[in-house]
Chains A and B, each alone.
Chain A
Amino acid sequence: AQKVTQAQTEISVVEKEDVTLDCVYETRDTTYYLFWYKQPPSGELVFLIRRNSFDEQNEISGRYSWNFQKSTSSFNFTITASQVVDSAVYFCALISSGYALNFGKGTSLLVTP
């Protein structure tokens, strides 16, 4: 069975604060892929990052960074110096057996000025 848990339902921060969105996954497979997607208020789903299970190297892209730790089955997402435009729902997802993205429930991030 595969499962993704995003325990934080809603987070509210003030602009310029750093914020970390948690993602914990479960799978019995040794090969799997992890993803983060952003859903802004306009509703579309925007791909942010993919990580393979055999690559634990952390990644930084501008103000975004991702921390993948197989030992704790976590794939956390940090936004540094948050901005109002970061306000969105963020989804963590997993593909292990099969081809379907298995999404977490999402974390709604609100960044206020």
Chain B
Amino acid sequence: NAGVMQNPRHLVRRRGQEARLRCSPMKGHSHVYWYRQLPEEGLKFMVYLQKENIIDESGMPKERFSAEFPKEGPSILRIQQVVRGDSAAYFCASSRIPGLADYEQYFGPGTRLTVT
């Protein structure tokens, strides 16, 4: 009865490298959300995906960031050419179909990204 899984839990990258963060939703959940927690900004929504579709990416930075949720496998948040300002905790959440009476988002343990 696994919950939302994220890996790696900790990731260190040098400036200019790529970071790939993975998220496997809870069993029975087909909707995935990515959030970022920055020390001074709090928790902010980045992107909402269903299988093979990006539904809402209004919170994603316009450059260097991308997300996917393929038909098979986990959701991936990719950050290209990382900069120090990308250092943060990245949380993935999953849910069943949003809008129903019992809709909740359950979070994974997060990936702590450190850019050196």
Contact = CB atoms under 8 A, between A and B. Distances in A.
Contacts, number: 54
A50 B104 CA distance: 7
B104 A35 contact: yes
Contacts of A106: 42-43
Counting chain A CB atoms within 10 Å of each CB, the highest count among B45, B59, B93, B106 belongs to B45
Interface residues of A, number: 21
B69 interface: no
Interface residues of B, number: 26
A91 interface: yes
Contacts of A99: 31, 33, 48, 55-56, 98
Interface of B: 31, 33, 35, 42-45, 48, 55-56, 58-59, 89, 91, 93, 98, 101, 103-110, 112
